[in-house]
Amino acid sequence: MIDSSYVFLTFRPSYQKAKRSNPGRFQTHAVSNLQIIFFLWNIVSGNVKKFAIEDKYFQELNGFLHRNQNFSIKEFTRENGFYLNGSTLLECEFFGKTCHPKDFEHVFTEYGNCFTFNYNDLPARRVSLSGRGLHLLFDVQQEQFTDDPALGYTDSGITFVIHSPKETPRFDGLGLLTPVGMHAQVAIQQLKSIIQEYPWGECKPDIKLQYQDTYSTNGCLQECKAWYIQDWCGCLPFILPGNGTECDLMKSYNCVFPAIQMCDIYPEFSGDIESILMDVGKCGQHSQVILYVFVIRQNLVIIDIKYDDLSYRITQQQKALTVSELLGKGMFNIYC
């Protein structure tokens, strides 16, 4: 019997441009000019630096903000981005026990609305048997949403990250995509790593984070960005940890980008890594959800995450030389 809280699941939907609709992250009826919304989000999340910026975007942006004086991209994303309820989460089971949308915690990442299962503030769940775990059935509702292909989302499905509760979810380069019409089966095992401190290694175990109990490289990077942005710009992007005045859109573009280049990050002294094996197959007709085959292939995603082994492995760096050997520059001296 072990505590399963060492594993979080955080996911976001991703979508493909369809011929007759714009399915994806934002509800298509929410605003008439979705290009402006995507551009605003790119400014806030820092992705705008990846694209060539044309003057027409700034003209449209100024006009949009002039007509919407109290517009908040944070509130717009929260209210009009992808939501999790009984219509999008069709099935949820954890070791045979039914779970619900309320068991997921909404979190903001650089890619918008995401949802975390086994969140810190929710009651801890315990694992007693390998080969079982979390079962999820999603309806991503492609026709109701739209996404920005400029961010690299050319597929439709669910992108998810399995991570330690000690760390914030990180999708960039680490997310696993399950396409629509597919059934993903994932096996996980916990791996612990312990890295030597200076002078044997580069980690600094005495470093403490303000908003996280345990140090992690990604957590340090987020807090470093937040500190420099508050110091330089006098505001704080809502996707970063901390308390402060939310940066407006133009300040995010003009001031935030230079500030985030100033961070020096050290590797963590120890960490938890999830060893992941993933297999994907096509969905058949589901026994409890009677839908047309076309709808299944275009909208449904099944994810099964199973504990491969309840034990864990530890990888620990060893000191090549002791302190006395280091002081002697690695040489052994014999005195008579």
Percentage of the chain beyond pLDDT 70 is 50
pLDDT of residue 98: 92
Q: Residue 96 above 80 pLDDT?
A: yes
Give yes or no for a contact between 163 and 214, defined as CB atoms under 8 angstroms apart: no
pLDDT grade for 92, boundaries at 50, 70 and 90: very high
Highest mean pLDDT among 19-28, 132-141, 316-325: 132-141
Of residues 61 and 7, more confidently modeled = 61
Q: Residue 287 above 60 pLDDT?
A: no
- Looking at CATH, the fold of the domain delimited by 2-30+81-188+273-318 is given as Acid-sensing ion channels like fold (2.60.470)
**Which of the four CATH numbers 3.30.70.270, 3.50.50.60, 1.10.287.820, 3.40.50.2300 does domain 196-268 have?**
1.10.287.820
pLDDT of residue 147: 63
> Which tens digits make up the pLDDT trace of 59-77?
676 677 677 767 777 888 8
Cβ neighbourhood burial of 25 (10 Å; 0-12, 13-18, 19+): buried
Cβ neighbourhood burial of 233 (10 Å; 0-12, 13-18, 19+): buried
Q: Read off the DSSP letter of residue 242.
A: S
Reading the block at residue 13, the tokens are 């939907």
Q: Residue 253 above 60 pLDDT?
A: yes
> Which tens digits make up the pLDDT trace of 129-186?
656 788 999 998 887 776 656 555 566 788 888 877 777 787 776 778 888 888 888 8
Task: Please give the sequence-ordered ranges of beta strands (E in DSSP) within the chain, or none if there are none.
Answer: 2-3, 8-14, 26-27, 89-94, 97-98, 104-109, 112-117, 126-127, 133-139, 145-146, 157-163, 176-179, 182-194, 270-282, 300-316
pLDDT of residue 138: 92
Cβ-based neighbours of 117, under 8 Å, separated by 6 or more:
8, 9, 10, 99, 103, 104, 134
Q: Residue 30 above 60 pLDDT?
A: no
pLDDT of residue 101: 93
Percentage of the chain beyond pLDDT 90 is 6
Mean pLDDT of the chain: 70
Q: Residue 283 above 90 pLDDT?
A: no
**Mean pLDDT value across residues 265-294:** 51
**Mean pLDDT value across residues 206-215:** 79
Q: How far is CA 165 from the centre of its chain?
A: 12
pLDDT of residue 132: 74
Q: How far is CA 71 from the centre of its chain?
A: 25
Of residues 91 and 248, more confidently modeled = 91
Say how far apart CA 171 and CA 86 lie, in whole Å: 25
Strands 182-194 and 300-316, how do they pair?
parallel
**Mean pLDDT value across residues 247-260:** 73
Cβ-based neighbours of 336, under 8 Å, separated by 6 or more:
none
For residue 279, the SS3 value is: strand
pLDDT grade for 6, boundaries at 50, 70 and 90: very low
Of residues 240 and 200, more confidently modeled = 240
Q: Residue 252 above 70 pLDDT?
A: yes
Phi/psi at 324 (5° precision): -65, -35
User: What are the structural domain ranges in the chain?
Assistant: 2-30+81-188+273-318, 196-268
Of residues 308 and 50, more confidently modeled = 308
pLDDT grade for 289, boundaries at 50, 70 and 90: very low
Identify the weakest region by mean pLDDT among 88-102, 210-224, 229-243, 313-327.
313-327
pLDDT of residue 18: 31
Of residues 117 and 21, more confidently modeled = 117
